Amino acid sequence: MSSTPAPLSAAAGRQPAGQSHTTCRTVLVVDDSRSQRRILSASLQRWGYRVWEAGSGEDALAILRGNEIHIVLSDWMMPGMDGPELCRRFRQLDREHYGYFILLTSKTGQENVALGLDVGADDFLSKPVAPDELRARIAAGERILKMARELTQKNELLTSTLAQLQAVYDSLDRDLVEARRLQQSLVPERHRDFGRGRMALTMRPSGHVGGDLVGHFRINENRIAFYSLDVSGHGVASALMTARLASYLSGTSPEQNVAISINELGLFDMRAPGQVCAMLNDLLLREMDTDLYFTMILAEVDLLTGRVRFAQAGHPNPAVQSPDGRVRFVGNGGLPIGLIPGAVYETREILLAPGERLLIYSDGLTECVDGADAQLEEAGLAHLMRVSSDLHGSAFLDALVTDLESFAGTVEFRDDVSAVVFEYAGSC
For residue 354, cis peptide bond before it (omega within 30 degrees of 0): no
The pLDDT value recorded for residue 150 is 87
Q: Tens digit of pLDDT for each residue in 198-254?
A: 999 998 888 766 788 899 999 998 999 999 999 987 777 788 888 888 889 987 777
pTM of full prediction above 0.85:
no
pLDDT of residue 10: 38
What does each C-alpha distance from 251 to 262, 398, 424 come to in angstroms? 15, 24, 21
At residue 21, the pLDDT reads 36
Residue-level pLDDT at 8: 54
pLDDT at res. 23: 47
Which residue stretches of the chain have pLDDT < 50? 1-4, 9-23
List of domains in the chain = 21-155 (3.40.50.2300), 186-424 (3.60.40.10)
Alpha-carbon distance of 284 to 205, in angstroms, equals 23
Helix axes 273-287, 236-248, angle to 10 degrees: 130
Looking at residue 317, what is its pLDDT? Answer: 97
Q: Which pLDDT does position 278 carry in this prediction?
A: 96
Residue 428: per-residue pLDDT: 57
Q: Comparing C-alpha atoms, which of 238, 232, 225 is closest to residue 298?
A: 225
